[in-house]
Every structure is written in C-alpha cells, then in structure tokens.
Amino acid sequence: MNPKITIKTPWQFLASGFGAGLSPIAPGTMGTLMAIPFWIIFSLTLSLPFYLLMLLLTSIAGIIICQKASDELGVHDHGGIVWDEFVGFWITMIAAPLSWSTIILGFLLFRFFDILKPWPIKIADQRVSGGLGIMLDDMIAGLFAFISLQLILHWIFPLLL
C-alpha cells in the first residue's frame, strides 16, 4: 500500500505541486493543469534565455525535491509527486506563443507522451532511479511534446490558414 502524500513537509508540498498531486483522480493531469498559470506568468515576464535558465534551475531543484519526497514516502515514484509534470509541461511550452489554443495543444501533447511513454521515455522511466529517474521521463516527454508542438505551430497550422 502506497503511503499518502501530504503537504505537511516542505518536500512533499513542493513535490505534490503545491497540493495538486493530492487529487485522488489523475494527479499527474492535475499537476500539469497547475503548471499552466505558472507558465503564463513565465511567458509574460521572462525572455527566452531567462526562461531556459528557469527550466535548468527548476529541473535541478526537481531532482532534489522529488528525491527527498520519495525518501520521506518510501516509494520511488509516488503518483502524488507531480513536480516532474510541472517541468515537463514547461519544457513543452518553450518559445510557445501565449494563446489558449497553444496551451491546450501543449497540455494534450505533453499528457499524451507522458502517459504513452514511447521509447526512450519508457526506458528512462524503468531504468533510472531516484530523483533523476522521477524527473527524466517527464523531461523527455516534454521534449517530445515541445518538438511536436513546434512542428504543428510552424508546419501544420500555417498550411491551414
């Protein structure tokens, strides 16, 4: 039986995406939804270099946060740990224009790759342990979703107009 994640310790509060991971239904999806308002703020306030720096820092912090929360829970990748979804979604949205259609498309693409876990995402998920393992599969899913989103925005959408 998995222990229940809480927001009573700083590590679990952060790892749960400020409580989004407490959702009894689809905590990963809730974590991705919770990442959207942060992305909107980042997209309005950060230039691309600073956005990329933020991604680097939140990725490194995420490895530590997820490791500490995982250690506290005694479970490798507890479903309530959703900091990885935050970073994965933010990777998806690198240089994306701010619009509801882009947000929805980025959300759907990230969730698709995060849930389906095609190669090499599945390999990373199965073979890399600790905080890095928790973060890595979502970071790769975010990269796949980023590439897909950029292809759609720059190759498919212009053809439809």
Domain assignment present for residue 81? The answer is yes
Q: How far is CA 103 from CA 126, 128, 136, in A?
A: 29, 30, 22
Domain assignment present for residue 5? The answer is no
pLDDT of residue 161: 47
pLDDT of residue 3: 84
Domain count for the chain, please give it: 1
Average pLDDT for residues 53-71, to the nearest whole number?
97
Average pLDDT for residues 122-134, to the nearest whole number?
89
Which residues, 6 or more positions from 65, have their beta carbon under 8 angstroms from its beta carbon? 11, 14, 15, 83, 131
* Tokens representing residue 117 in the block: 């876990």
Q: Is the pLDDT of residue 158 over 70?
A: no
CA dist., res. 9 & res. 114, Å (int): 27
Domain assignment present for residue 4? The answer is no
Whole-prediction pTM? 0.94
Domain assignment present for residue 78? The answer is yes
Domain that holds residue 121: 10-159
Q: Is the pLDDT of residue 76 over 90?
A: no
Domain assignment present for residue 57? The answer is yes
Judge contact between 131 and 66, C-beta under 8 A: yes
As a whole number, the mean pLDDT across the chain is 93
Q: Is the pLDDT of residue 160 over 60?
A: no
